[in-house]
């Protein structure tokens, strides 16, 4: 009889699958926003997507070129709707319709 390492009574200590999906969603949205920024290179303001990582979020935020470029200097900063700031986020700046947050948990590498 084969022996397996799976123990259904063992406590799982890794991240919840929803956290993995959330980080992956944040990374994909950040990359999409970077492409939007490139396409709108001549514009001083443009629309991007909220980077909160929530599965149902489709919120769009208007940001200035200056703020967006400042935001992208650090890999751990995200652009989110103020009502979407999560427990793993620290608000760095508020700009009316959006907030810039720092991810306190590790963000997946780009």
List the pLDDT tens digit at each of the 110 positions of the chain. 444 444 445 454 444 444 444 788 989 999 999 999 999 999 999 999 999 999 899 999 999 999 999 999 998 899 999 999 988 899 999 999 999 999 876 554 44
* pLDDT at residue number 13: 47
Instruction: Please say whether the beta carbons of 89 and 72 come within 8 A.
Output: no
Rounded CA separation 80/59 (Å): 9
> What stretch of H or E contains 72?
none
3-class secondary-structure state, position 10: coil
* pLDDT at residue number 75: 87
* pLDDT at residue number 105: 67
Rounded CA separation 34/72 (Å): 9
* pLDDT at residue number 22: 79
Q: pTM (2 decimals)?
A: 0.75
* pLDDT at residue number 86: 85
Q: Which two tokens stand for residue 3?
A: 């022996």
Backbone angles phi, psi at 17, to 5 degrees: -60, -30
């Amino acid at each position: 009889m084969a022996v397996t390492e799976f123990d259904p009574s063992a406590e799982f200590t890794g991240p919840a699958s929803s956290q993995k999906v959330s980080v992956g969603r944040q990374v994909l949205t950040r990359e999409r926003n970077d492409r939007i920024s490139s396409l709108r290179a001549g514009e001083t303001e443009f629309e991007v997507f909220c980077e909160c990582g929530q599965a149902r979020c489709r919120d769009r935020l208007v940001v200035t070129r200056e703020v967006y470029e400042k935001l992208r200097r650090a890999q751990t900063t995200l652009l989110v709707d103020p009502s979407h700031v999560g427990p793993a986020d620290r608000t760095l700046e508020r700009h009316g319709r959006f907030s810039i947050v720092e991810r306190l948990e590790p963000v997946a590498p780009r």
